[in-house]
Amino acid sequence: MRVASSLRAVARAASSEARRVPTYGREGAFFVGETATSGRGAYAARDFAVGEAVVVHERPLVCAPSRANGRAIACETCVRESGGERFCSDACARAGRVEFERERGIEFDELEARCDARALKFPLVVARAATMIASGSLQYGSLEFLVSANGVEKAPPRQWVEEWETLRSALARARPALEWTPSLEWYAKTTSRLHLNSFRVEIPPAMVGAGADFKSTMTAGIDAIARGAASGTAVYFTASLFNHSCAPNAHVSWENGDAAITIRTLRPVRAGEEFNITYVDANERSASRRARLKEWYGFDCACERCASGED
Ligand SMILES: [Zn+2]
Ligand SMILES: [Zn+2]
């Protein structure tokens, strides 16, 4: 997930048959190539028409629901609308991580309070990744594929150190004690990866309540979603390969109503062309888009739209 590439890089990647293997996405829809300025990127393995799926229902490596009024606004396992309940289904309430936390008596009340007070979203996603690793439902090292900031673990911000201490003290109460607990270095690296690679999961209100046992339209969760709050935060393996452009040729959606992500083309895309999605609202004007990209992802956008001076 970084800056959009130049046409030169697209041509170079397209000319290299070797880079077409291995392919990813739906039926080998894309391959990974090096861009000129943004590290790796996702390139079309064939021609695509408008609206074709490139990635279909990719499940997140880790996800967590957004919070409002001191509680999660969606299912704590899959981020699906849950009518104000902690989980949307029995399966989500019995997920490996959840069972593990219950058995070991792990609770994140202090970390949640800290996040609620400061409007933080990443510490709880990191906490989830930590218990998933400790329980064996996420392989240690499986997040290392994601881009992180260089050297961030050597001098982590004070705030991250405090978050890590809060997480550590929650995990230290586990009985029996955990076989693995996160180091500060792991915490800082993982937080950095989330900053650079996480998606705001935005399940449209129209999908909310589509389930058979929809309870009430007046729950805090639905209210928060209706006000435009994201349902949650998630990181993905292949979706993280898609670079940003302010004039994207593909877009992301959550068609299942949970954190599984789908990427579809917005216009015809030729074989060898890089797929781009937008990390911000592409309808915003140039100055505000660029400011957000700088603040949230730390780069100066060099996409064709920005380079052309178009607003
Ligand atoms: Zn769920
Ligand atoms: Zn741009």
User: Which H/E stretch holds residue 201?
Assistant: strand 199-201
Q: Which residue has the higher pLDDT, 8 or 160?
A: 160
Averaged over 53-64, what is the pLDDT? 96
Query: Per the structure, how many domains does the chain have?
Result: 2
Instruction: Tell whether 41 and 113 lie within a shared domain.
Output: no
* Residue 33 within any structural domain of the chain: yes
Averaged over 102-123, what is the pLDDT? 96
* In the block, residue with structure tokens 């309540």: 209
- Which residues lie closer than 8 Å to 309 by C-beta, 6 or more apart? none
Instruction: Tell whether 174 and 298 lie within a shared domain.
Output: no
Torsion of the alpha carbons at 247, 248, 254 and 259, rounded to the nearest 10:
-100
Instruction: Tell whether 33 and 80 lie within a shared domain.
Output: no
Closest listed ligand to the CA of 64: 1
Confidence tier at 144 by pLDDT (50, 70, 90): very high
Nearest to 130 by CA among 109, 159, 108: 108
Instruction: Tell whether 100 and 183 lie within a shared domain.
Output: yes
Q: So what's the pLDDT on residue 206?
A: 54
Q: Which residue has the higher pLDDT, 4 or 82?
A: 82
* Residue 231 within any structural domain of the chain: no
Structural tokens at position 186:
């792991």
78 Cα: distance to centroid of ligand 1 (angstroms): 4
* In the block, residue with structure tokens 């309870």: 215
* In the block, residue with structure tokens 């959009």: 4
Instruction: Tell whether 34 and 73 lie within a shared domain.
Output: no
Q: So what's the pLDDT on residue 3?
A: 41
Instruction: Tell whether 98 and 182 lie within a shared domain.
Output: yes
Instruction: Tell whether 67 and 171 lie within a shared domain.
Output: yes
* Residue 230 within any structural domain of the chain: no
CB 45 within 8 A of CB 271: yes
CB 249 within 8 A of CB 276: yes
41 Cα: distance to centroid of ligand 1 (angstroms): 31
CA distance 218 to 203: 17
**pLDDT tens digits, residue range 212-270?**
344 443 444 455 555 567 899 999 999 999 999 999 999 999 999 999 999 999 999 99
247 Cα: distance to centroid of ligand 2 (angstroms): 7
* Residue 296 within any structural domain of the chain: yes
Instruction: Tell whether 178 and 283 lie within a shared domain.
Output: no
Instruction: Tell whether 137 and 190 lie within a shared domain.
Output: yes
Closest listed ligand to the CA of 284: 2
Residue 289, domain CATH: 2.170.270.10
What is the domain extent for residue 268? 7-55+238-307
Nearest to 62 by CA among 118, 112, 149, 127: 127
CA distance 212 to 287: 44
75 Cα: distance to centroid of ligand 1 (angstroms): 5
Q: So what's the pLDDT on residue 205?
A: 66
Instruction: Tell whether 46 and 85 lie within a shared domain.
Output: no
Instruction: Tell whether 79 and 50 lie within a shared domain.
Output: no
CA distance 254 to 78: 11
Lowest model confidence (mean pLDDT) among 48-57, 98-107, 297-306: 297-306
* Residue 206 within any structural domain of the chain: no
Instruction: Tell whether 105 and 153 lie within a shared domain.
Output: yes
Point out the domain boundary residue: 201, 226, 252: 201
Q: Which residue has the higher pLDDT, 10 or 110?
A: 110
231 Cα: distance to centroid of ligand 2 (angstroms): 26
Question: Of all residues in the chain, what percent are helix, strand and coil, respectively (each to 5)?
Answer: 35, 15, 50
